[in-house]
A = this chain, B = another copy of it.
Amino acid sequence: MAEQGRPDLAAMLGGLMRRLMNAETPVLAEHGLTMWGYVVLSALDDGPVRTQAALAKAIGADKTRIIGTLDTLQEDGLITREPDPKDRRVRLLGITDTGRAARRSAQAQIQEQEERLLGQLPAADRKAFLRAALALSEARWP
């Protein structure tokens, strides 16, 4: 007496997300990273970010909340944070070689897990799913 249509997109993706996060948190912990630490490291590895405010917006985090994350990453020698000589209000953010290595190692392991999950799909759907996910995550909307 129901169940005719499809489930809501948000419901399907929400469940998926929950499981992905549960599976990935221990992997990050192995590398001494928190979820936010990993996100920050990834953002800095994928392209330089000038200011902390820009970083916060880029990763969809609160600008006051990432300060602690940055402190920890810096203490651990994974990122650099130096005042910009051109504008001494801002802190120039960068990733160190150690940070890059940590990020890539963690990412390799995470994506390996993800591939195991995606391996349950037919090859064509697997490719289409990744392509669609990438497109939708970057799409302008509404």
Q: Does B142 contact A121, Cβ atoms closer than 8 Å?
A: no
Q: Does A45 contact B137, Cβ atoms closer than 8 Å?
A: no
Which of these binds chain B: A49-57, A63-71, A107-115? A107-115
User: Which listed residue, B2, B46, B114, B117, touches A139 by the CB 8 Å rule?
Assistant: B117
- How many positions in chain A have a CB within 8 Å of any CB in the partner chain? 53
Interface of A (DSSP majority class): helix
Which of these binds chain B: A5-13, A75-83, A85-93? A5-13
Nearest opposing residue in chain B for A136, CB measure: B16
Task: Mark A94-111 against chain B: 1 for CB-CB distance below 8 A, else 0.
Answer: 000000000000010011
> Please, which residues of chain B bring their CB within 8 A of the CB of A142?
23, 113, 116-117
Q: Does B132 contact A8, Cβ atoms closer than 8 Å?
A: no
Given A10-B17, A10-B20, A15-B60, A135 contacting B114 (CB threshold 8 A):
no
Most chain B CB atoms below 10 A, which of A7, A12, A18, A133: A133
Q: Does B19 contact A16, Cβ atoms closer than 8 Å?
A: no
Q: Does A13 contact B137, Cβ atoms closer than 8 Å?
A: yes
User: Which listed residue, B3, B13, B133, touches A46 by the CB 8 Å rule?
Assistant: B3
> Please, which residues of chain B bring their CB within 8 A of the CB of A14?
17
Q: Does B141 contact A19, Cβ atoms closer than 8 Å?
A: yes
Q: Does B3 contact A13, Cβ atoms closer than 8 Å?
A: no
Q: List 8 A-B contacts (CB under 8 A).
A: A2-B45, A9-B130, A10-B110, A10-B114, A16-B137, A120-B136, A128-B129, A129-B129
